[in-house]
Amino acid sequence: MVRSVPPRWLLGLVLLTCLPETAPAAAPAKRPNIVVIFSDDHAYQAISAYGDPRKLLDTPNIDRLATGGVRFDRCLVPNSICGPSRATLLTGKYSHANGFYNNTNSTFDGSQPTFPKLLRTAGYQTAVVGKWHLVSDPTGFDHWHILPGQGQYYNPPMIRDGQKVRHDGYTTDLITDFSLEWLKARDKSRPFLLMCQHKAPHREWEPAPRHLGHDKDRTYPEPDTLFDDYTGRGVAEKTQDMTIAKTMTPKDLKLTPPPALSPEQRKPWDAYYDPRNKAFQAAKLGGKDLVRWKYNRYMHDYLGCVKAVDEGVGRMLDYLDREGLAETTIVVYASDQGFYLGEHGWFDKRWIFEESIRTPLLVRWPGVAKAGAVAGDLVSLLDLAPTFLEAAGLPVPADVHGKSLAPVLTGRTPADWRKSFYYHYYEYPGPHSVRRHYGVVTDRYKLVHFYGPGVDYWELFDRKTDPRELTSVYEKPEYAAARKELTAELARLRTDLKVPDPDPPETITGPKKGPAKP
């Protein structure tokens, strides 16, 4: 079954309030082109359009999408980890429905429906370039040119339409180059979908040579939770392994160089890092001073990677402008999830907490999206697939969990738009030792259940009184009514979404002793 699409829905959205009732019907609008620029681990805090008070970095090109389109401030992911988010983007479904639960042992089933497949069947040209990270080969694309696995920042091996190739250069620049090459060679008589998917700024945050020293040895403002001791929360928060203080490796911190550097690339690398590393070693830092040094090194490297992504976005937007395509092309910028930039002393993601579950989303759609608008509605990566399908005038499969963003983009959010959101993280045991958990998110609250071997407890956070999510109020009597309401809503969501209970065996990442029980 499919959900029916209203005829000429796009025309209706755009002209609903500006045409007289007697205006003659117009022909359906031309199907828009679609460009999805999808980065990896790009925190909204590191996009200047989001206004982080630390003012970490200017991103003038990504900000062009905020100026010309809509900035979403509560775009949430259903499972905050790379592969599952990519599977959600393609399918519009939660992990338990698309079958990709974790990065450890999941493989994407490429035979299932995806929005690129449906667009291709309807006449769109389709291509994906860059990071894929779904194990199986891409399906639904006329052209694919992808990094194997996580990929590397310098001189990357890639796979182009099934053939192994190797390229010289910086990976972020190459992904933009190959994306533009495909656009230039496309059939100009047909609409297109291009998914330009960057590795950056994923760990180990290796900047391009031109961006080494981009911050002129800036001392970055610290998040006020950099030295969080996790008081007020449970064993999951206290036993994770993702702190700047303890988890970062010499490779993360550039105390050892990446092995893939060419001799020409190694020269500027050594010229920048060697003297600073020698000064660090001579200082013999410890305690909080050592954490501060690591934090500032992390910020230099991570933000340097973002600079190259921003430049790539600028090249893409400039091409669309030059070719007269900007007015007929939907451009989306998003990341697979949020990321910690020192908040709570952390890097990485995985949690239901804000810096992790919330990803940047900027949508420019001329004639539909209100330029310069800011939306606070609860939206999700789940919503992109149905948005693209409706934009192309195609029916949306009935089992898709997301909703089209088209009405939200016009500033007319439907009265029945979601007021709550379900989240579920599965990858434990696994990297960073974040416990399995699921929960419900509303505008104000988060109710979360941590479960698994030796762990079974609940937490409740009131973001109105505790925006940094530092203290669970689950046991406080004054929150009894909220707790009851949220518990019922969580149960409803799990039922409506048909979440398996217990977790199916394919979610198990450690020794398989049977299903994990929520």
3-class secondary structure for 298-365? HHHHHHHHHHHHHHHHHHHHHHHHHCCCHHHEEEEEEECCCCCCCHHHECCCCCCCHHHHEEEEEEEC
Give the residue with greater pLDDT, 285 vs 19.
285
Q: What pLDDT was estimated at residue 30?
A: 87
Q: For residue range 456-473, what is the model confidence (pLDDT) as tens digits?
A: 999 999 999 999 999 999
Residue 228, pLDDT above cutoff 50: yes
Q: Residue 149's pLDDT band (boundaries 50, 70, 90)?
A: very high
Domains, the chain:
220-298 (no CATH), 422-507 (3.30.1120.10)
Q: Are 122 and 392 in contact (CB under 8 A)?
A: yes
Question: Residue 511: its pLDDT value, please?
Answer: 55
Closest-CA residue to 191 (of 405, 393, 332, 392): 392
- How many Cα atoms are found within 13 Å in the side-chain-facing hemisphere of 196? 29
pLDDT tens sequence across 387-421: 999 999 999 999 999 999 999 999 999 999 999 99
Give 518's pLDDT tier (boundaries 50, 70, 90): low
The confidence score (pLDDT) of residue 2 equals: 43
pLDDT digits (tens, 9 = 90+) for 368-386: 999 999 999 999 999 999 9
Provide mean pLDDT across the span 252-268. Answer: 97
Residue 35 pairs with which residues in a beta bridge? 194, 331
Q: Tell me, what's the pLDDT at 52? A: 97
- The answer for residues whose C-beta is within 8 angstroms of residue 260's C-beta and 6 or more apart is 152, 153, 154, 155, 156
Confidence of residue 27 (pLDDT cuts 50, 70, 90): very low
pLDDT category, 509, cuts 50, 70, 90? confident
Average pLDDT over residues 349-361: 98
Average pLDDT over residues 212-240: 98
What is the mean predicted confidence (pLDDT) over 158-163? 98
| pLDDT single digits (tens) 163-199 | 999 999 999 999 999 999 999 999 999 999 999 999 9
Q: Average model confidence (pLDDT) for the chain? A: 94
Q: State yes or no: pLDDT of 512 exceeds 80.
A: no
**Percent of the chain residues past pLDDT 90, beyond the cut:** 92
Q: Please compute the mean of the pLDDT values over residues 288-296 and round it to a whole number.
A: 98
